[in-house]
Amino acid sequence: MPLMTPTEAAAAKSFPRAEIEETMQRWLDANEKAEATGDWITHLGPFYTDDAVYRWNVGPNEEFEAKGKKAIEELALGFQMEGFEGWHYPYDRILIDEKVGEVVGFWRQIAPVRRPDGTPYEVAGVGGSWFRYAGDGKFSWQRDFFDLGNVFAVLAELAPQGHVPSSVKKKIAKMARGEPLPGHRKLRGTPSVVDRLRQGAALGKIALLGR
């Protein structure tokens, strides 16, 4: 699936920069309140239009997608955030293009646990959100980007210490069994066993022989 469908891309519309800046400041304030209370639905739900679309990638053949404000609240802000209460997602930079009504915000993912040296467990790499502003202080489209492998790396560090909540453990177990989480879907058909063996053999050859 393309990052943005032709219909979504055609919805580009310019807005006064001051209006978008004011909306993003309210978003940042709401984000902090959501972190403090663990209630993402109440604080961030009002920022989406009724027909908004929210997506992120989960791997080479899997996407998360929530269509409509209700689905966004139930899945993206509700189910997906269960178990991550206490985590912080501070924004480091906001880039605004008022000519097409789009915003990109770069944020980090910080666990509520510190290492023995006092530094927090933090997901490596770049995380962020790409928004399509729709006016009236709301977004009609959002796509998050982050390194899922680095998220699991932090969870792997936290697991032996007992800092992975049961709700997150259940999600990981379902994914390990190949069961889709709510809102997740395959982008293409699953490769056959023969195709997977052929791919594995080709990669093995490269690793061993360099060709």
For 82-141, the pLDDT digits (tens) are 999 999 999 999 999 999 999 999 999 999 999 989 999 999 999 999 999 999 999 999
Nearest CA to 30 out of 17, 41, 18 is that of 41
What's the fold here for domain 6-209?
Nuclear Transport Factor 2; Chain: A, (3.10.450)
pTM above 0.75, yes or no: yes
Contact present, 111 and 121 (Cβ < 8 Å): yes
Sorted by where each begins, the domain ranges of the chain are: 6-209
| Spatial distance between the Cα atoms of 10 and 4, rounded to a whole number of angstroms | 10
Q: What is the pLDDT of residues 138-175, one digit of tens each?
A: 999 999 999 999 999 999 999 999 999 999 999 999 98
Q: How confident is the model over 88-97, as pLDDT tens digits?
A: 999 999 999 9
Could you tell me if 135 and 15 are in contact, meaning their C-beta atoms sit under 8 angstroms apart? yes
Could you report the per-residue pLDDT of 25-49, keeping only the tens digit for each? Answer: 999 999 999 999 999 999 999 999 9
Query: Dihedral of the CA atoms 85, 86, 92, 94 (nearest 10)?
Result: 30
